[in-house]
């Protein structure tokens, strides 16, 4: 019999003790082997688009830690890049894009979209062949709202005011942009699943800056369209939605979008998380700085999540990505504590 992929079991509603564990940004700058590969690759986009590099950095945390899931190494902005938008990554500044004028949305060129992203699909195919059979392979994309914030501002901003203003001033044009990104992102996820991804995650890292009405328009509706389109082709593939900072708006997110599981940021109270877990699997939600701090802060954070959510379908993860400052010894301690959970009362 083939080894069981326990994360898929949990995504479909099963309880497992100890729970499966993986970390957002688990392939990254906290690992010395990643930093060496980054030097070899040159630019960050070379790292994303060269399957030799992308496969290697994706496998690094699996070799070192044996996580239950491996997530494709790429970036959410490869989708607008494949639509013809200029994209660069500057050390210390992050992604820089040529800001889009919303009157130009209809000029975005989807021709050659999949050819541009073929190296990503090749990376997924190779990962599925090279990963341990028991390791779940995750594909991903950025949610249309979060992708649009970078397309409009050209870079990250503290509160994404440029995109929010565009939502209020040019609602029709903003809807066209979100619809286009949703359509292309769905096709991108479908190709990742075709190539071997077992499940996919949709990252909405900037959903928390919106009011309730804008959240409905900019976050819920575009993600619902992605889920609907992916399910039409791959009805059984689990989809994780991660609307970071959504607060009370998490409560109806799963029902309105159709995602299988919810990724929870660290601000979500465990009392709310338990109610969300009654509807299906949840993922999260350790504060990444507890991992940096280590010691008692880390142990208490882990134990509260396991005690609060361990009786239902739980995927242990951080409430956002691991930071470069996280010591490897703390990651090892966290994994050991989670995997020894069955030995505690």
Active site residues: 25, 29, 38, 75, 150
Beta strands in 81-131 (DSSP E): 87-90, 94-97
Token readout for 76 is 């959410």
Strand segments (E) across 91-134: 94-97
Which two three-digit tokens encode residue 87? 């994209």
Quick count: other Cβ atoms within 10 Å of Cβ 275?
13
Beta-strand runs (E) in 175-258:
199-204, 239-243
**Residues whose CB falls within 8 Å of the CB of residue 81, separated by 6 or more in sequence, listed in order:** 45, 87, 116
Q: What is the DSSP string of 147-183?
A: HHHHHHHSS--SS-HHHHHHHHH-HHHHHHHHHHHHH
Question: What is the pairing mode between strands 87-90 and 94-97?
Answer: antiparallel
């Amino acid at each position: 019999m083939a080894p069981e992929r326990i994360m898929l079991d949990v995504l479909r509603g099963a309880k497992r003790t100890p729970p499966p564990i993986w970390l957002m940004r688990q392939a990254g700058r906290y690992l010395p082997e990643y930093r060496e590969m980054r030097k070899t690759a040159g630019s960050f986009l070379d790292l994303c688009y060269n399957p030799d590099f992308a496969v290697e950095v994706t496998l690094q945390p699996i070799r070192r830690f044996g996580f239950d899931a491996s997530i494709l190494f790429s970036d959410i902005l490869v989708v607008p890049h494949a639509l013809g938008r200029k994209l660069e990554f500057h050390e210390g500044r992050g992604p820089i894009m040529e800001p889009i004028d919303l009157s130009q949305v209809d000029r975005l060129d989807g021709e050659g979209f999949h050819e541009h992203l073929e190296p990503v699909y090749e990376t997924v195919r190779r990962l599925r062949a090279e990963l341990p059979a028991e390791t779940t392979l995750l594909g991903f994309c950025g949610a249309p709202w979060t992708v649009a914030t970078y397309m409009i501002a050209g870079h990250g901003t503290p509160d994404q005011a440029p995109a929010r203003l565009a939502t209020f001033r040019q609602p029709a044009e903003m809807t066209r942009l979100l619809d286009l990104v949703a359509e292309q992102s769905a096709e991108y996820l479908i190709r990742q699943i075709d190539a071997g991804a077992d499940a996919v995650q949709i990252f909405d890292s900037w959903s928390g800056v919106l009011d309730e009405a804008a959240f409905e328009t900019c976050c819920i509706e575009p993600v619902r369209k992605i889920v609907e389109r992916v399910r039409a082709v791959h009805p059984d593939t689990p989809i994780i939605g991660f609307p970071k900072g959504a607060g009370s708006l998490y409560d109806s997110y799963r029902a309105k979008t159709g995602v299988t599981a919810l990724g929870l940021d660290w601000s979500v109270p465990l009392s709310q998380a338990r109610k969300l877990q009654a509807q299906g699997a949840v993922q999260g939600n350790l504060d990444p700085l507890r991992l940096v701090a280590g010691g008692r802060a880390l142990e208490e954070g882990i134990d509260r999540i396991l005690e609060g959510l361990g009786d239902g379908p739980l995927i242990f993860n951080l409430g956002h990505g691991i930071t470069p400052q996280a010591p490897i010894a703390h990651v090892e301690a966290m994994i050991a504590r989670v995997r020894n959970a069955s030995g505690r009362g």
